[in-house]
Every structure is written in structure tokens, then in C-alpha cells.
Amino acid sequence: MTQKTPPLSGVLEAALYVDDLDAAKGFYGDVLGLEKITEVAGRHVFYRAGETVVLLFIAEQTRVPTTNAKLPVPPHGADGAGHLCFAADGEALIGWRDRLESAGVAIEADFEWPNGARSIYVRDPAGNSIEFAEPKLWA
């Protein structure tokens, strides 16, 4: 008997690993203006981005097994730069480019894909690849 695949409604959260929470807060909170949800000093800071939550962790701290039986999150963590893409329409991308440049954030790439969608790439302070793209990229 083949079981039907249950539906997914989207990505609830995405995690990136950083080495400096203050620098991460300066980028995601101050430059990008994301709403901070919570923070644990020396471990993580979480932000809301539309309907998704962006989790920023110090990787070494997430590899330490929890002692809280009520929140048995398994250890995790990654090495190296990750990638996250924020959705923004074409007009908003113009504003994002201006905002990023005025904040001193270097634009790594700004181009149109073969289907006409535009993407802008930058690096966060930890070296993660951060993209701002028109949703039609995947339409």
C-alpha cells in the first residue's frame, strides 16, 4: 500500500551559523530591520522575516546537548558559510540595494536570471551568502 505524502505549507524556520552575535544583530536587526523574537546571550538570536523565522546560532553552542528535558532539541550545527534568500519584488530590490550600499554592505552580485528574475547577493558578517530575489525566480 502506498501512503500519500502529507502536505507541507512552507518553511517555518531557517538556521544560519554565525561567529559573532553582536555583528549578526547589527546586520539582521539594524541593516535588514528584522523583528527580533528572542535572544540568549552567547548562543542565539532569532528574527521574524515575513512568515519565516531566521535562527542565528553560534554553532559550537548548538552542539552541546540540552539538559532541559522539556525541550529535547537534538544537538546540531554546521561548519562553513550557508545561504539564505529573502523574497522581495522588483521595486523593493531597488530599495534594498540602496539600503545595503548606504550601510556599507558590499554587493557581491546583482543580475537577472534567464527567466527575468533579479537577484542581489551580499555576505553577512559571518560570511553567509544572503540573497534578495524576486519570487518569480522559482515561478
Give residue-wise pLDDT tens across range 7-54: 888 899 999 999 999 999 999 999 999 999 999 999 999 999 999 999
pLDDT score, position 33: 98
Spatial separation of the C-alpha atoms in residues 138 and 70, rounded to whole Å: 39
Q: 89 is in which domain, residue-wise? A: 13-64+81-138
- The answer to the question of residue 69 being in a domain is no
The number of folded domains in the chain is 1
Residue 54, domain member (yes or no):
yes
User: How far apart are the C-alpha atoms of 130 and 109, rounded to whole Å?
Assistant: 11
- Is 24 part of a structural domain of the chain? yes
Q: Is residue 72 part of a domain?
A: no
CA-to-CA separations, 53 to 72, 97, 111, in angstroms, rounded: 20, 22, 27
59 within domain boundaries:
yes
Residue 40: all three cell numbers together: 540568549
User: Tell me, what's the pLDDT at 31?
Assistant: 98
Provide the CATH number for the domain around residue 90: 3.10.180.10
State the Cα–Cα distance between residues 23 and 16, nearest whole angstrom: 13
